[in-house]
Structure 1
């Protein structure tokens, strides 16, 4: 009879399995990775992952949720570091770029998956909302400081699109990370100037 697992045991194994899955998905593609390969990567029996996850779709969801939460942590830390509204806005964008470069596999799983068969879990939706809310929060700071006039939601999307584009160029090797940061700062300050009342 299998031993009873504590909550800490379950959380630890789920985290290790998600880390292994993130690597394997990035290396081989999600469709090519099997539950058996995940078990082998962790040195456990082929049935062990099923004690922690219903199926591969649930693992994909958990991997993406973890990635989005780490991403949101980075954005929130940049915002919370302080400074005036413009500095915070630039810092959030730079944290976005840094995350994309330093966690390119997780970043790809966050944004490049389309048409997933299983609907996203509440945890994944909440993690994505955390990241989106930080994009809106730094723009609200610009509005409150009188630097931008308009909708924080709309400008949140504008700023997100700007940094998403630079992250893509960096990840494709079209520009260096340093160039991405420089261009992001220039675009951010330009967007702020253009949106000024």
Structure 2
């Protein structure tokens, strides 16, 4: 029992560190947050934090993996429902935007905050698991676009990247500029996705 309690406390402390880091990274950017600041936000010493994470990069990597994993779960659930490729695309797009709006800090972490040079190097060399998980999430969009277009792989890739950039743009604007006098949000999202779908009709 004492060992189980110790593991429970360790897991809780780890979650506290990740929650505090997510808030700080979203507010200030990864490059401007130190392990000392994260430890202070949790109310522990820096050496205590190192018992769970060795570096701020390790914390940011864990947060990115969680964000992509959560988005992947949502996307797989959408694609498991029956529907045409166009219906799947609309649902997938709606789920993507909703994920960003429901979890803005997590979305910023995955898609809106520049990583450090260590992260960039690992991703370029395809050694970071973040690259694999993120690619898996993008694969689902790529598959839906392929089913809608029935085109060659190069065209599918071009369209998939363009569509992602477009939907990301809407999502990031809704997160970053909540005070803008947007039209009714669901109507705007539906119109945006319908406009994209019309290109493939």
TM-score clears 0.5: yes
**CA distance 1:88–1:63, shift in 2 (3 Å):** same
Corresponding residue of 1:142: 148
1:57 maps to 57
Alignment partner of 1:167 is 2:175: no
Greater fraction of residues in helix: 2
Residue 185 of structure 1 aligns with which residue?
193
The residue correspondences of 1:2-13 to structure 2 (distance < 5 A) are 12-13=12-13
Q: Is residue 128 from structure 1 mapped to residue 112 from structure 2 by the alignment? A: no
Give unpaired runs (5+ residues) of structure 2. none
In 1, the alpha carbon distance for the partners of 2:131 and 2:75 equals 17
Task: Specify whether residues 133 and 104 from structure 1 end up closer, same or farther in structure 2 by C-alpha distance, changes over 3 A only.
Answer: same
Q: Distance in 1 between matches of 2:12 and 2:170?
A: 35
> Is 14-23 or 80-89 further displaced after alignment?
14-23
| Bigger mean CA deviation after superposition, 45-54 or 165-174 | 165-174
Indicate conservation of the 8 Å contact 1:86/1:142, yes or no. Answer: yes
Q: RMSD of the alignment, in Å?
A: 2.7
In the aligned structure 2, how far is the partner of 1:97 from the partner of 1:83? Answer: 20
The range that moved more, 49-58 or 69-78, is 69-78
Measured in 1, the distance between the counterparts of 2:173 and 2:113 equals: 18
What pairs with 1:1-197 in structure 2 (closer than 5 Å)?
12-114=12-114, 116-119=116-119, 120=122, 122-143=128-149, 148-151=150-153, 152-171=156-175, 172-173=177-178, 174=180, 175-176=182-183, 177-193=185-201
Taking the aligned partners of 1:108 and 1:135, their CA distance within structure 2 comes to 20
Task: Compute the TM-score of the two structures, normalised by the length of structure 2.
Answer: 0.78
Matches of 1:181 and 1:112, distance apart in 2: 19
Q: Secondary structure at the match of 1:47?
A: helix
- Residues 1:188 and 1:8: Cα distance change in structure 2 (over 3 Å): farther
The gaps in structure 1 that reach 5 residues or longer are: none
TM-score (norm 1): 0.80
* Cα deviation code 1:143-180 (max 9, x no counterpart): 4xxxx534332322132122112213322244353243
Task: Indicate conservation of the 8 Å contact 1:69/1:130, yes or no.
Answer: no
Contact 1:90–1:188 (CA under 8 A) maintained in structure 2: no
Number of aligned residue pairs: 187
| Deviation, structure 1 residue 74 | 1.9
